Structure 1
Amino acid sequence: MTSGAALRRGRRRAPRGSGERLRVEILDATTELLLENGHAKDVSIRAVAERVGVTSPSIYLHFADKDALLDAVCARYFETLHDEMQRAVQGQVSTLEALRAQGLAYVRFAIATPELYRIATMGEGSPGSDVDAALTSSAFVHLRGSVESLIREGIYPPGDPTTLTLELWTAAHGVAAMLIAKPYLPFGDPMTFADNVLRAVCTGHMTVGIVGADAGPQETLHWVLDNKGARR
């Protein structure tokens, strides 16, 4: 592993007046330390300052405290989710397939970088945080757009698209969280597992739209059995 001293020698100090450049270097260094250590508690302001090659007070000029620094790191990182979910819908033949692809892109993104995902989404949140803003402007906006289209197309039942989007987002997050927190469970191929769960959730809402939101499990089962022959 490269020593901290070597890293500091390879990192040039930001010249006077380049506060934004220094801020980026601080975020880069914090990200490196998070990925190396895997836990936020093992990353200190002092360690970040040493990695950048500045004093601790220089960090506080840009971030009020460690929580604010970690929040900014995770928010910046999750902004890339926007691009991942945009790419996921390219070439999809239907809105339903696009929704499924977006969910898979979310899970794939999470399990590719479990340390940052865990810190950003599995710790204590705070309303209005930068992380929540980044996730809401990426994952939520993309999923909601697909949900609204499915409602307009008559594939999903009429209703509040925000509530439905949160349900789908919760499913995607739940899959990602389990794959990250309990990787030793017999999931099989992680993305196949994720696809099976998300497909069930996406198509389940279609069934609700046909059978009715008030239908119970037994009534839904009767409807499925009655219409089973229609597929043949």
Structure 2
Amino acid sequence: MDEMPAARRRPNARGRGEVLREEIVGTAMGILEELADDESLSLRAVARTVGIAATSVYLHFPDRDSLVIAVAQRCHEELVGVGDAADAAEPDPGRGLRARMLAQVAWAQEHPGLYKVLHESSVHRRLGMPFKEVMVTRTVDAVQRCMDAGLAPADDALTVAIDLRTAVNGMLAQRINEPDMPWPPAAEQLDRFLRKLVGLEVPGASR
């Protein structure tokens, strides 16, 4: 069946190509949120939703995978941003680490389809995407601050941060993929991870 023609759209002014690129990425994010599967994404569907010809998408993204990677980068930037803001709002390093991880939990619960794409797509498992390293670095730094402040036992911060991220990512993936399970509140699970994996006791946290 032939694709429906794209809605007519006024061409971008000269130098506005980056604006269109951002619109394409934002539109693809919305579609991937609904699909929760990058292999089902169609560049023609993205073009139709934006209201441009498919050739205009190909000028910015030569194939579907390149667009999925751009979406993944945008998602990582959002996750880093909400985590940084949550951490910065807490003067205590322990509360800051907890707030950072809870911000990631909240983002995943708000965007379950995108979270699946981030962690289950073959595209996202590729090497050579430096933007993926930023969240790991931020978590390592947050864990190290807890250790430096004497709030957590001295240890290799990278190893501890990877253990913590693995536990949190696994928790979120299971909640998204098995929503009918009688899950406890996510904050309670996170607090157990912080105690058992980091050795951190956050005052007022759930037990």
Q: Give the TM-score normalised by structure 2.
A: 0.81
Residue-by-residue CA offset, 1:112-135 (whole Å, 9 max, x unaligned): 101111111222210122xxx334
User: Could you tell me how far 1:207 is from its partner in structure 2?
Assistant: 5.1
Query: Structure 1: which 5+ runs fail to align?
Result: 209-232
Determine the structure 2 residue equivalent to 1:128: 128
8 Å CA contact 2:37, 2:121 repeated in 1: no
Aligned counterpart for 1:71 among listed residues 69, 72, 80: 69
SS at match of 1:79: helix
Identity %: 31
**Alpha-carbon distance change, 58 to 163 in structure 1, aligned in 2, over 3 angstroms:** same
**Alpha-carbon distance change, 14 to 186 in structure 1, aligned in 2, over 3 angstroms:** same
**Alpha-carbon distance change, 55 to 97 in structure 1, aligned in 2, over 3 angstroms:** same
Aligned counterpart for 1:186 among listed residues 135, 159, 182: 182
8 Å CA contact 2:93, 2:145 repeated in 1: yes
Deviates more, 1:56-65 or 1:114-123: 56-65
8 Å CA contact 1:79, 1:135 repeated in 2: no
Q: Give the TM-score normalised by structure 1.
A: 0.73
Q: What count of residue pairs does the alignment treat as equivalent? A: 195
Determine the structure 2 residue equivalent to 1:164: 160
Aligned counterpart for 1:20 among listed residues 18, 21, 26: 18
Distance 2:111 2:66 in 1: 21
Pair member with larger Rg:
1
RMSD: 2.5
Q: 1:96-175, aligned counterparts within 5 Å?
A: 96-124=94-122, 125-129=125-129, 133-137=130-134, 139-175=135-171
Specify which structure has the higher proportion of helix. 1
Distance 1:140 1:206 in 2: 15
Distance 1:121 1:57 in 2: 30
User: Could you tell me how far 1:15 is from its partner in structure 2?
Assistant: 2.7
Are 1:200 and 2:180 counterparts?
Answer: no
Query: Structure 2: which 5+ runs fail to align?
Result: 201-207
User: Could you tell me how far 1:205 is from its partner in structure 2?
Assistant: 4.0
Amino acid of the residue matched to residue 144 of structure 2?
E
**Alpha-carbon distance change, 91 to 136 in structure 1, aligned in 2, over 3 angstroms:** same
SS at match of 2:52: coil
**Alpha-carbon distance change, 141 to 80 in structure 1, aligned in 2, over 3 angstroms:** same
User: Could you tell me how far 1:94 is from its partner in structure 2?
Assistant: 2.7
Amino acid of the residue matched to residue 77 of structure 1?
C
Determine the structure 2 residue equivalent to 1:8: 7
Residue-by-residue CA offset, 1:109-160 (whole Å, 9 max, x unaligned): 111101111111222210122xxx33432x3233212211122233333332
User: Could you tell me how far 1:87 is from its partner in structure 2?
Assistant: 2.5
